[in-house]
Amino acid sequence: MALLEIKGLKAGIEEGDILHGVDLEVNPGETHVLMGPNGAGKSTLGNVIMGNPAYKVTDGSIIFDGEDITKLTASDRAKKGLFMSFQNPLEVPGLSLESFLRNALREKTGKPVRIFQYKKQIEETCKLLDMDESYVERDMNVGFSGGEKKKAEIFQLLMLSPKLAILDETDSGLDVDAVRTVSKGVEIFSKNGGALIIITHSTRILEALRVDKTHVIVKGSIVASGGAEMVDEINNNGFESYVGA
């Protein structure tokens, strides 16, 4: 059974649809890459899957883990095992990453978090990501550099271990070291069986992953799907042959 099954999805804002009938199927543990020109609707698709209330679904459905989630709130979707890393992560003064994650884990499991285990998990994850433990106690993302914000998101990804993570240009604008850390975190997530939808313009984050499928989205529709080889093909030739289609 597919983990995520999107059928005939039309969605957008008050002024009209941005997505014009998207079909997409992601099986457990698969890695899908979503490519397309600027403004094609990639982030919108991610946001609609996550249940961002800024977007309205006008047709079609989103089935996740056997359940129709089309009408669920974003927080209920997160509890079911969906996760999205944002192009521009929010700064949250007054809330540390540590308390944020403790709440999220409690919500997800419905049980209080065992502090000793939790601290140990934090310690191990920080080590994996080459992250100073002090970040976890600071206000979430406040004063973090671009690279630190992305590391903090990958930290959340590993701590929460969702069933499906959507990464929206998590690698853009990062220096070589930060990309390496982010890639390493994503690789660990994938090896542990997590499914991924990766929105990216670069191949660096994909190098350590086994890409199952690539999709090209143009003007709110998926116009082509293929295997891993499509990523290189597009990086060499651009979107021209897809845009006209």
Residue nearest to Mg ion (CB): 43
State which amino acid sits at residue 206.
Answer: L
> Quick check: 44 binds ligand ADP (CB under 6 A)?
yes
- Torsion angles phi and psi, residue 134, rounded to 5: -65, -25
> Quick check: 43 binds Mg ion (CB under 5 A)?
yes
Rounded Cα distance between 165 and 83, Å, is 5
Would you say 42 or 151 has its CB closer to Mg ion?
A: 42
HSE-CB of 97 using CA atoms within 13 angstroms = 30
Binding partner at 85 among Mg ion, ligand ADP, none, C-beta below 5 to 8 Å by kind: none
Q: Which of 6, 11, 35, 40 touches ligand ADP by CB under 6 A?
A: 40
Q: Which of 3, 4, 9, 18 touches ligand ADP by CB under 6 A?
A: 18
Using CB atoms within 10 A of its CB, is residue 134 exposed (0-12), middle (13-18) or buried (19+)?
exposed
How many other CB atoms are there within 10 angstroms of residue 146's CB atom?
14
CB distance 57 to 70 below 8 Å: yes
CB distance 13 to 56 below 8 Å: yes
Q: Which of 17, 24, 33, 41 touches ligand ADP by CB under 6 A?
A: 41
> Quick check: 20 binds ligand ADP (CB under 6 A)?
no
Q: Which of 43, 125, 183, 200 touches ligand ADP by CB under 6 A?
A: 43
| Contacts to ligand ADP by CB under 6 A | 13, 18, 36, 38-44, 54
| Contacts to Mg ion by CB under 5 A | 42-43
